[in-house]
Amino acid sequence: MSDAPRLTSLAHGGGCGCKLDPATLRQLLAQQPAAGPFERLLVGNETADDAAVWELEDGTCLIATTDFFTPMVDDPVDFGRIAATNAISDVYAMGGRPLFALAILGMPLGKIDPEVVARILRGGAEQCAEAGIPVAGGHSIDAPEPIYGLAVIGTCRREAVRRNADAVAGDAVLLTKALGVGVYSAAIKRATLDEAGYRDFIATTTLLNRIGTDLAADPAVHALTDVTGFGILGHGLEIARGAGLTLALEADALPLLPQAEALARAGAVTGASHRNWAAFGEAVDLPADLPEWRRHLLTDPQTSGGLLVTCSADRADAILARVRAAGYPAAARIGRIEPGPARIRVAA
């Protein structure tokens, strides 16, 4: 029996749960200079969007993003697959198609076997191959904790760019994957998640969000973003703030992974969930009788989560059916965009 340390034991957090909390990130970005008067920079950091977008001369746009994190699972191949899926998702969330990736690798030399590192890289490359792209290079360092991710370059036409700030009053809101990845991660770290739960966890976190490319081709789809470390409330609030409108969520309509409720009730909650609520809870209106476990799932950090979509209400059912048929059976209609202040209102 191997005495090698578990990957998750080498990191203080895991997955998108190790992101800086939203309040700290906003404070840091507010102190940075504006990107400048670059007319071809269609999307920078002004809207907390998923990737940067630069327009070329012929109306083609380049999409550039980077995403990396510490392990949330102990299997190195699965870690690589999840991290790659999560990073590529940013291109899909902008409405693009990925072209190639560069690996980002930090490993604690002397604490982790090189073969384990090779398996992480193999998992990432396998997932990139599934997306139809190569890992064309990268960079590595000796780091205190294991870190892996990708920088991804993609492309789209200008008319296909979908920001998180372009929701319209009256839009329906859809979510393409179930919530609960964070509480599953907490259970994995405690070694209390059963085999069925782990299979569900891997299935959702390695499901590519390639449907975003198809959705962006539909003029009835107005805003797109992926739900990651800030949870459904945090990324929903980015949509509300970007549009200057209210996002009304139906708590009972939110799709959940099969064991998410039971795990949340049992206290399998991440520290990131608490940080998320502290960062933006003042901009969220909750029902007075909302159970605490349900609130935790609203701030539950998702790694490689689904796409949050706003679209014309009269097309919502058809778009939802198309998403489900494309291989996202948990997709659901979860709310609407309303006139009002840039807040989230949750109804039970």
**Residue 103: inside a domain, yes or no?**
yes
Residues 42 and 146 in one domain: yes
What does DSSP assign to residue 52? E
Residue 283 region, left (φ>0) first, then alpha (ψ -120 to 50), else beta? alpha
Residues 107 and 191 placed together within one structural domain of the fold: no
The pLDDT confidence band at residue 16, using thresholds 50, 70 and 90, is low
pLDDT the model gives residue 6: 84
Cβ within 8 Å of residue 164, ≥6 positions away: 47, 48, 49, 50, 93, 223, 224, 225, 235, 238, 239, 242, 308
Domain hosting 253: range is 169-344
Tens-place pLDDT, residues 83-101: 999 999 999 999 999 999 9
Question: Which pLDDT score is estimated for 1?
Answer: 38
Q: What is the pLDDT of residues 249-267, one digit of tens each?
A: 999 999 999 999 999 999 9
Task: Kindly provide the residue ranges of all beta strands, DSSP E only, lying in 176-331, ordered along the sequence.
Answer: 221-226, 246-250, 284-285, 307-311
User: 179: which strand partners?
Assistant: 256
337 and 192 in a single domain? The answer is yes
Do 50 and 139 fall into the same domain? yes
Q: Which of 8-12, 44-48, 137-141, 270-274 shows the highest mean pLDDT?
A: 137-141
Provide the 8-state DSSP code for 314.
G
- 54/177 same-domain check: no
Number of structural domains (the chain) is 2
- Taking only the tens place, the pLDDT of each residue in 178-218 is 999 999 999 998 899 999 999 999 999 999 999 999 999 99
Q: Among 158, 189, 209, which residue terminates a domain? A: 158
Q: Specify whether 21 is located in the same domain as 136.
A: yes
- Look at residue 163 and tell me if it is in a domain: no
Stretch 120-146: mean pLDDT: 97
Report the binding-site residues for ATP.
19, 47-49, 67, 90, 138-140
108/215 same-domain check: no
35-41: which pairs have CB atoms within 8 A and are 24 or more residues apart?
none
Q: Is the pLDDT of residue 231 over 70?
A: yes
Q: Look at residue 288 and tell me whether its pLDDT is greater than 50.
A: yes
53 and 99 part of one domain: yes
Out of 125, 158, 191, a domain closes at 158
Residues 191 and 286 in one domain: yes
Inside any domain, residue 282: yes
From the annotation, which residues make up the binding site? Answer: 19, 47-50, 67, 90, 138-140, 226
Average pLDDT of the residues of the chain: 93
β-bridge partners, 105: 140, 148
Among candidate residues 81, 262, 278, 288, the one with its CA nearest the CA of residue 186:
262
Higher pLDDT, 9 or 347: 347
Annotated binding site for Mg(2+): 50, 90, 226
Stretch 131-150: mean pLDDT:
96
- pLDDT tens-digit readout, 309-337: 999 999 999 999 999 999 999 999 999 99
Do the domain assignments include residue 146? yes
Supply the CATH number for residue 65's domain: 3.30.1330.10
Has residue 164 been placed in a domain?
Answer: no
CATH number of the domain encompassing residue 269: 3.90.650.10
Predicted local confidence at residue 290, as pLDDT: 95
Q: Which helix (H) or strand (E) holds 323?
A: helix 316-325
Residue 127 domain-assigned (yes or no) = yes
Instruction: Identify whether residues 104 and 177 lie together within a single domain.
Output: no
- Considering 118, 133, 158, which residue would you say is the last residue of a domain? 158
Catalytic residues: 16
Same domain? 188 vs 152: no
Same domain (yes/no): 231, 150? no
pLDDT in tens, 45-90: 777 888 999 999 889 999 999 999 999 999 999 999 999 999 999 9
pLDDT for residue 213: 98
Mean pLDDT (whole number) for 256-281: 94
Question: Stretch 20-34: mean pLDDT, rounded?
Answer: 66
